[in-house]
Structure 1
């Protein structure tokens, strides 16, 4: 059934859809490539600025602000229109990028990454929502596959571009290269996208936005610093949990009593949206588990170099857009439910392959496992976005799309804390049990030596074997938990409504 959305007929006459799509994909590419290209440049950045102890905060600052603001931007785009909000987001992202390139200390870089993340929170959800606005249901399924291909392209070219810039120019251009991309995207959106916004006084939920930001900021700060800068069992930890809980309770109470809430909880009562958001959270946990720890397994346990380790993740980024493209066709022929369930099965196959993975199997096995996982993500995520955008009206499409992306981002953060804690505790336990008789000084930090040929040369063969075995056992435990989340995801998918909206 083809449903024409509000203003779609008039917008089609004025909006140049291929050019808007190109501008949107450019904005998404700018945001998608940020993760891979900055990761590639980080060793050079640390060598220049120092502050290795703050290494993780360069990524955490960006992730934190991105996650905190994504829902707020989604709602604002429903009030003021997509064009204005995505322009503000891209502009903030570019300001942050320019400042990052001028950073003289690691602290400055982290502050500027906060600004970058503040803008990035608007880019992905609003860009995806624009596509939902200007294309019909049948067209969206196909176009979402194109959008997903942006991630695959960025994963392939990000490390290469970053490496070339660092080697032949400067790490600062890793940030400055965003400027032409962002400017072209803004121009394309302003010249070729035409919206019809209701001329009425906007009602902005300032209190709700403030309470939500406080609760998520406190919780994510704990998840990022928990077990590192903050002990899990401590007054600080309990205070942050209590503060986040109170703010979130006040947020929910407030949202239920106002006319224009930041988060309309009634959309969560729609079963397809509730399940899509729940599975996005579980797959977010899985995604961070694979992308964070697979390179370590390939390098430290299999003994391969960083390039080969990167290839195993690239396999996931190739499987994702291929499956997204196929998903667009499957949605039309067999529906959202069956399409997402096929994706759920592929996620479980990928999880099983990761559990079975042994050092002797080599990087090809790791790459195949990664590919299956990426294919599962491509099928489910595309089906979810198209389903959600078809279910709600224009006035709620921005916040509904943003809510789904928020749940995946939140899953990433929870997964990083949960799986990182599992890895560290399992590894420490193994070293205490098996390593004491070989070298009493062995600790989790000793694994750093396995990641470089120079470090390995300082270790005896016996110590190397203990560390590799410990890391293998620990990572297998992580992958087992990832597989459990794949099962949970599939169980959720079984409850997707059989009747298509």
Structure 2
């Protein structure tokens, strides 16, 4: 499939087009699947302190996220390598059912270990639902609406950023975390029942390959090992885990280049492939944005901000992503590539400038300094949001014939890997540069400076790669 795009002369569709009679139910189902995943992500983050207070398991706290992300990689991969007899709308049913089962397990969990089992099942279902959101775009909407549909997903995440903590906070305040998980079960059932009726089957000619089992195992292992590296205290052990993760990633890439059982579309293991560069840009932008996981901590420790306020301040990042996605939804052609480059630059600069704003001790709670830091938090999200929908559109246009499902599912895989690697790398940086030792205010300042300085680099590299994206006819395996 070529990477031809709508020329600027053509009238750009509006977001409201997605809610016209022809596309309304498809929009509600696809947006609903992503909303279910997004809201649950923020609900769980808010509920985890209540969960560990109730049933214990503080040492396993971080694994509630790690195991969820790892399982979502598996779910998104199945969408691409599913048997020919399994249609996309049937995959949607599987995903919704798995999400509901995982929520039920979490709701009745007597121990943290059981919660982790539920989170793994939830993550598997979420991987299905998010991957299908992208895979269904070409079946539900005509080509001029592809970029607009991607913008809608950004809007969903923005809404979830505010809904999730609010819902989670309400249930957490009453120690009703089990009820919060139970609330997701009927929604999952409704979506599973509705999928065969409201979504097309999604059948199309596609290239089928064997399941890329080895690559999946190696990538999941890399995520898990990096998570260990971010949490251990001994520098030597941390280095060993980090090196092991690098070895696992290299092994996965090597196998992917020489096997017929591929995880990614053909040709995407070479930087000469435009599609490979799009995926790499996505990954780098996400690694940088995941430095946000420590923003609430630094706001509270260095600036004296309350936990509730710090949660909503970091939510401005997602709001920035959503605002930028709406602002650039109608851009097409060469201008879209310029927006991707500019967005990566904004994200890199905003992240780096947190070194001199957020990474400072502000015991008096100076509002001007805090306000400037807040602007840069917003701009981090704004930067990635400027180009994300256009990167998604590039993937759909550049996918080789018969491999669009695999290319679409790989977007979710990149999201999951970017989030997992970004969080783990952030943990390694802060734990190595003083967050724990010497700790306190001094350690927090040093750790914050190194974190935002180093994690601005991936976005800067993504900007350089974005200057090489095609604007004319090309294929992913050139």
Q: Are 1:396 and 2:403 an aligned pair?
A: yes
User: Within 1, Cα distance between the matches of 2:195 and 2:22?
Assistant: 10
- Change in CA separation of 1:73 and 1:195 when aligned onto 2, cut-off 3 Å: closer
How many residue pairs match? The answer is 448
> 1:477 maps to which residue?
450
Q: Taking CA–CA contacts closer than 8 Å with sequence separation of 6 or more, which of the two structures ends up with the larger relative contact order?
A: 2
Pairing partner for 1:254 from 256, 259, 267: 259
1:296-345, Cα deviation, whole Å (9 max, x unpaired): 1100100110122112211111111121122221136x543122122123
- Change in CA separation of 1:68 and 1:499 when aligned onto 2, cut-off 3 Å: same
Contact 1:26/1:182 (CA < 8 Å) preserved in 2? no
Contact 1:93/1:115 (CA < 8 Å) preserved in 2? yes
1:164-208, Cα deviation, whole Å (9 max, x unpaired): 1222471012212212322333334321222363699x95513x2
Secondary structure of 1:122's counterpart equals helix
> 1:417 maps to which residue?
424
User: Within 2, Cα distance between the matches of 1:366 and 1:116?
Assistant: 35
Stretches of structure 2 that go unaligned for 5 or more consecutive residues are 7-17
Contact 2:256/2:263 (CA < 8 Å) preserved in 1? no
1:78-105, Cα deviation, whole Å (9 max, x unpaired): 8733211122112111111111100000
Q: Are 1:380 and 2:353 an aligned pair?
A: no
> 1:279 maps to which residue?
281
User: Within 2, Cα distance between the matches of 1:218 and 1:173?
Assistant: 33
> 2:63 maps to which residue?
57
> 1:365 maps to which residue?
372
1:319-374, Cα deviation, whole Å (9 max, x unpaired): 11121122221136x54312212212321332243122143444322321111111
User: Within 2, Cα distance between the matches of 1:243 and 1:387?
Assistant: 28
User: Within 2, Cα distance between the matches of 1:158 and 1:398?
Assistant: 30
Secondary structure of 2:355's counterpart equals helix
Stretches of structure 1 that go unaligned for 5 or more consecutive residues are 4-11, 429-442, 448-466
TM-score by length of 1: 0.81
Contact 2:105/2:117 (CA < 8 Å) preserved in 1? no
- Change in CA separation of 1:43 and 1:198 when aligned onto 2, cut-off 3 Å: closer
> 1:219 maps to which residue?
222
The structure with the largest alpha-carbon Rg is 1
- Change in CA separation of 1:303 and 1:485 when aligned onto 2, cut-off 3 Å: same
User: Within 1, Cα distance between the matches of 2:170 and 2:259?
Assistant: 51
User: Within 2, Cα distance between the matches of 1:196 and 1:472?
Assistant: 51
Give, in angstroms, the shift of residue 137 of structure 1: 2.6
Secondary structure of 1:265's counterpart equals coil
Matches within 5 A, 1:228-307: 228=231, 233=236, 237=241, 249-255=254-260, 261-267=262-268, 271-290=273-292, 292-307=293-308
Give, in angstroms, the shift of residue 236 of structure 1: 7.6
Matches within 5 A, 1:27-46: 27-46=33-52
- Change in CA separation of 1:171 and 1:205 when aligned onto 2, cut-off 3 Å: same
Contact 1:133/1:394 (CA < 8 Å) preserved in 2? no
Question: As a proportion of its length, which structure holds more helix?
Answer: 1
Q: Are 1:104 and 2:110 an aligned pair?
A: yes
TM-score by length of 2: 0.85
Matches within 5 A, 1:204-215: 205-206=210-211, 208=212, 210-215=213-218
Matches within 5 A, 1:166-185: 166-168=172-174, 170-185=176-191
User: Within 1, Cα distance between the matches of 2:5 and 2:282?
Assistant: 26
Give, in angstroms, the shift of residue 122 of structure 1: 1.0
Contact 2:88/2:203 (CA < 8 Å) preserved in 1? no
Secondary structure of 1:355's counterpart equals coil
Q: Are 1:73 and 2:79 an aligned pair?
A: yes
Give, in angstroms, the shift of residue 247 of structure 1: 6.1
Secondary structure of 1:325's counterpart equals helix
